[in-house]
Structure 1
Amino acid sequence: MVGALLDSALTDWAADLRAGRIGSAGWAGGVEPAWAASGAMALTGQPDGPPLGLTVPLVARLDAALAVIRTLAAGLGHPFPPADASTGGAPPSAGPLLGERAAALGLTRGGVLSAGRAARLVQAADGWLAVNLARPDDVDLLPAWLEAEVEPTAADRAADVRPVAERTVAAPVRPWTNLAALVATRPAASLVERAELLGLAVSLAVDPAAAAADEQARARGQRFPFAPFLVDGLPPEAAARAAPRRPEARRDGGFSVVDLSSLWAGPLCAQLLGLAGGQVVKVEGAGRLDGARQGPPDFYDLLHAGQASVTVDLRAPAGRAALVGLIERADVVLEASRPRALETLGIDPTAMIARNPRLTWVSITGYGRTGPWRQRPAFGDDAAAAAGAVAVDGAGGPVFLGDAIADPVTGVLAAAGALASVAAGGGHHLDVALREAVGSLLAGRPVLPDRDPTAADGSPVRVAPPRLRAPRGRAAPAGQDNDRLLAGAGPSTIAGQS
């Protein structure tokens, strides 16, 4: 399939990103000021140590992607609302987006424990693993993974090593102490392979250049630094050169978005597309709503206020048909399922684009829709470690970077790519991997340093705490718009199409 020519605002940014030509406006004592101001630096480092900076301008590179979104939105006739954190608009910098979930939950830096306390960096016999036990059932799978019973200790039951939402309710305790002892004697690669068979999110934490040279990266045609995403199977700049036609653009500049994703990366992408003029319909399974609804209301409202809400029963033929009907009328579809989930529903992105040539399909996965790791589960913290997106403390050991940093980074980059396709008339499939998105910001850092800089090294910058934009309103109750949108109107009516 040949897609539409992408706007040069995106392709130039992608080329500059890979070449390492995007830098910071300044450095203060070895620390990027925008990183210090983002809230993510406050979440990086040991709990009893100083917050850590980075040796690359990560926020400046993410800000450049936000500038692409602003440029494309203005070109579509829907410029971003004025930057105002008090009204849920986009902040002048993308940096604060990295800490919004932490602000809503009251998270703090945990060092080898993630800010959310559901993941831990664990040293195996020959390397470091990121083990993410984000789902309640994950703890039950540990005996099968490690071929031994793994019981929690008193230290594992302490409140400060448990997720905030689990500190006052009955929930499985992650047995980190004994897990670490068992992992320490075993080779890392075999543990990762066995975890994949069980559906556990476990990754090998490696140097960034090594990540971009493994079997998954090679299968996807990647190199260091990663391309931020693939467009019709190619890096953005290559897709632009290989795409000779431009479908007719929408006259009114408006566009409709069907969001099938959940949690953080996809919903942040949808929220940014909404700020750029998209009319968003959030679609949830009738028996499986977005788990983020159970989290802090302000964070969920921030990402979903102003969006329509539809629920469909994906187990029933009528529900699947209703979903296909929504997709056929959409300009953008966002989904964050492993490939087999769509295959089970009988939905093929390539076929849907063929039926709806203006459609932009955005797939968000941990490692990409192609390659030997296409079905491997991932969450933001372990995917970042798999890209080499970790910091190094004063003792030379890895610590998690921010709070699930691959999630918000992916949300911003996916929005830039989706909007570039919309601006060109659609017809693209964006394959966005959490690992590749965050890894694309690491040009100039092929190997991890002996240690990362701290504000204590003489930097005059102020390390800001995470903060949350105020929601623009309340998110719609699940299924509020079923009667209107599942009766045949579809999201095209929301976007002003006839």
Structure 2
Amino acid sequence: MALTGAASAPPRLAPGGVVTRADALLAALRAAAPDPARLPRDAGALLGERAALAGLRRNGRIAAGGRARLLCAADGWIAVQLARPDDVALLPAWLEVDPARFEGDPWPALAAAVRDRAAVPLVARARWMGLPAAAAGGGSAEGGAPGMDAKPPLAEARRAGDAPPSAAEARPADGAPPRVEAPPALRVTQAGTPRRRHAGPWRVLDLSSLWAGPLATHLLAGLGARVAKVESTARPDGARRGPAAFFDLLQAGKESVALDFRAPAGREQLRRLVAWADLVVESARPRALAQLGLDAEALLAEHPGLSWLSITGYGRPEPGGGWVAFGDDAAVAGGLVARDDDGAPLFCGDAIADPLAGLHAAWAALGALRAGGGRLLDVSLAGVAAEAAAGGVDPRACVVADAGGARVLCAGRSARVAEPRARRPAGRARDLGADTTALLREARA
């Protein structure tokens, strides 16, 4: 909660039962653990560990991490994430304006460019082009997700692969605010045959990056699984460039494999490791996996007992399966935002959909492993956020500032708003590729 609200004001209450849901998932994982001491104790702290280790603070409509912003369109608010250089490079084509407008700091020009355009067509065009964006649903100062559409905006008008709406189409129609998308938090398909594959600890092949997937496999390691993290030699996990303590926190104790995915030999080595595993965890869009020769359904049919955990922004089915998403914009898509006194949205937490999805994913994966595998698990960041946002803010609760910071008052009880905090890493992450040779040798045996 300390990460929600404007920097110059007391923190805001988050909608729904964010911490309550996280607490329940973590408690279930701890109850299933052979040694609960290997798992985190405090779910509320878990949600803010990156902020604690990176020194991040709440900043209203600028995400704590600084790379996403909530921008006012003609008929509502949109979240845009500029996490990669390619995202900035896409802005002129997205908005069909002169590239010179985005030289230097792109945010002022971007805010001006979207101000007179309709939110939903803007977001649809951004997603078609591979830019992370989301429309914030209409709501009130009490927060929550007021309206949930079963299908994404414009899905009824445009199929996956259709040309995007032009920038000229992105003009307000009737002034109605966009509705919040709500893909399921989890889809489970029995796509293969359950079977115990080998004796010993579960083998988890972690192809994921950044936060949600690595958190899920970190929790599975705490449950006794053996985790091998696989990265591309050309494009290692971007989290390696972030705070070292955060990377160590999630990666310590995992084996490290580095492969050249551009080469046929590297892709064949990857398939060999898939055959070695009990569970594959990835956070890529399905078409990106197809470029590596990986088809989850086909591999589950080929390897009885294998399970597959996919963590994406909007689920695997098209059109959402082709959309890029990060934790902040996916949370906005799911309606997991706070509201200021005028009802305008504010970011909730630090990339809050990521750690929530990591907890959901770990619990779903544990169920698949215990059942003997054969399951395709599809965890959606936006769906997890929508589930957490349901219910809005308790009308009895309020935040008051005092000399010590801020307190939450609710039904006669009072609690101090805690600053972000983090556990100490259990050790250091392995160097990139330190275990490649040994693990490939084992997978050949």
Q: What per-residue deviation string (whole Å, max 9, x for no partner) do you get for residues 353-405 of structure 1?
A: 11222111001111110032210111000000000000012232110000000
Q: Which amino acid aligns with 2:422?
A: L
Which residue pairs with 2:415 in the alignment?
461
2:125 to 187, 191, 194: 194
Q: How many residues align?
A: 407
Show the 5 A alignment for 1:141-156. Answer: 141-149=90-98
RMSD, matched Cα: 2.7
Report the CA distance between 1:288 and its aligned residue. 0.8
1:111 maps onto 2:60 in alignment: yes
Unmatched tracts of structure 2, length 5 or more: 139-144, 157-179, 402-406
2:443 to 487, 490, 494: 490
Cα distance in 2 between the residues matched to 1:433 and 1:452: 29
2:337 to 390, 414, 439: 390
Q: Which has the higher helix share?
A: 1
Give secondary structure in 2 for the equivalent of 1:441: helix
Q: What per-residue deviation string (whole Å, max 9, x for no partner) do you get for residues 329-348 of structure 1?
A: 10110001111111112211
Q: Which has the higher strand share?
A: 2
- The 10-residue stretch of structure 1 (329-338 or 172-181) with the greater mean CA deviation from structure 2: 172-181
Cα distance in 1 between the residues matched to 2:396 and 2:94: 32
Cα distance in 2 between the residues matched to 1:142 and 1:224: 23
Cα distance in 1 between the residues matched to 2:32 and 2:394: 37
1:229 maps onto 2:174 in alignment: no
1:42 maps onto 2:2 in alignment: yes
Note closer, same or farther for the CA distance 1:467–1:369 as it changes in structure 2 (3 Å cut): same
Which residue pairs with 2:152 in the alignment?
215
Which residue pairs with 2:161 in the alignment?
none
Q: Which amino acid aligns with 2:19?
A: V
1:135 maps onto 2:72 in alignment: no
Q: Which amino acid aligns with 1:273?
A: L
Give secondary structure in 2 for the equivalent of 1:121: strand
Note closer, same or farther for the CA distance 1:312–1:55 as it changes in structure 2 (3 Å cut): closer
Show the 5 A alignment for 1:73-84. Answer: 73=33, 78-80=34-36, 82=37
Which residue pairs with 2:19 in the alignment?
59
The answer (yes or no) to whether the contact 2:248–2:429 under 8 Å persists in 1 is yes
The alignment's TM-score, normalised by the length of structure 2, stands at: 0.85
Cα distance in 2 between the residues matched to 1:72 and 1:200: 39
The answer (yes or no) to whether the contact 2:193–2:374 under 8 Å persists in 1 is no
The alignment's TM-score, normalised by the length of structure 1, stands at: 0.76
1:278 to 225, 242, 248: 225
Report the CA distance between 1:79 and its aligned residue. 3.1
- The 10-residue stretch of structure 1 (350-359 or 452-461) with the greater mean CA deviation from structure 2: 452-461
Which residue pairs with 2:168 in the alignment?
none
Report the CA distance between 1:453 and its aligned residue. 3.8
Runs (4+) of structure 1 moved beyond 4 Å?
150-153, 216-219, 223-227, 248-253, 448-452
Show the 5 A alignment for 1:228-307. Answer: 228-232=185-189, 247-249=194-196, 254-307=201-254
1:324 maps onto 2:271 in alignment: yes
Give secondary structure in 2 for the equivalent of 1:328: helix
Q: Which amino acid aligns with 2:128?
A: L
1:342 maps onto 2:289 in alignment: yes
Show the 5 A alignment for 1:432-443. Answer: 432-443=379-390
Cα distance in 2 between the residues matched to 1:375 and 1:224: 15
Note closer, same or farther for the CA distance 1:181–1:224 as it changes in structure 2 (3 Å cut): closer
Report the CA distance between 1:215 and its aligned residue. 3.4
Cα distance in 1 between the residues matched to 2:230 and 2:84: 22
Cα distance in 2 between the residues matched to 1:361 and 1:273: 14
Which residue pairs with 1:180 in the alignment?
111
Unmatched tracts of structure 1, length 5 or more: 1-40, 83-88, 154-171, 233-238, 494-498
Note closer, same or farther for the CA distance 1:464–1:173 as it changes in structure 2 (3 Å cut): farther
Report the CA distance between 1:317 and its aligned residue. 1.0
Cα distance in 1 between the residues matched to 2:153 and 2:85: 28
Report the CA distance between 1:96 and its aligned residue. 0.9
Which residue pairs with 2:304 in the alignment?
357
Note closer, same or farther for the CA distance 1:55–1:148 as it changes in structure 2 (3 Å cut): closer
1:126 maps onto 2:75 in alignment: yes
1:204 maps onto 2:153 in alignment: no
Report the CA distance between 1:104 and its aligned residue. 1.3
Cα distance in 1 between the residues matched to 2:374 and 2:308: 8
- The 10-residue stretch of structure 1 (116-125 or 195-204) with the greater mean CA deviation from structure 2: 195-204
Note closer, same or farther for the CA distance 1:464–1:265 as it changes in structure 2 (3 Å cut): same
Which residue pairs with 2:317 in the alignment?
370
Cα distance in 1 between the residues matched to 2:82 and 2:336: 19
Cα distance in 1 between the residues matched to 2:136 and 2:14: 17
The answer (yes or no) to whether the contact 1:305–1:473 under 8 Å persists in 2 is yes
Q: What per-residue deviation string (whole Å, max 9, x for no partner) do you get for residues 283-331 of structure 1?
A: 0011111111111111000100011100111111111110000001101
Q: What per-residue deviation string (whole Å, max 9, x for no partner) do you get for residues 82-102 of structure 1?
A: 2xxxxxx43322111111111
The answer (yes or no) to whether the contact 1:226–1:436 under 8 Å persists in 2 is yes
Note closer, same or farther for the CA distance 1:330–1:147 as it changes in structure 2 (3 Å cut): same
Q: Which amino acid aligns with 1:454?
A: V
**Equivalent pairs: percent with the same residue?**
48
Q: Which amino acid aligns with 1:79?
A: D
Give secondary structure in 2 for the equivalent of 1:258: strand
The answer (yes or no) to whether the contact 2:39–2:223 under 8 Å persists in 1 is no
The answer (yes or no) to whether the contact 1:44–1:109 under 8 Å persists in 2 is yes
Note closer, same or farther for the CA distance 1:352–1:251 as it changes in structure 2 (3 Å cut): closer
Cα distance in 1 between the residues matched to 2:408 and 2:294: 55
Note closer, same or farther for the CA distance 1:55–1:197 as it changes in structure 2 (3 Å cut): closer
Cα distance in 1 between the residues matched to 2:154 and 2:357: 17
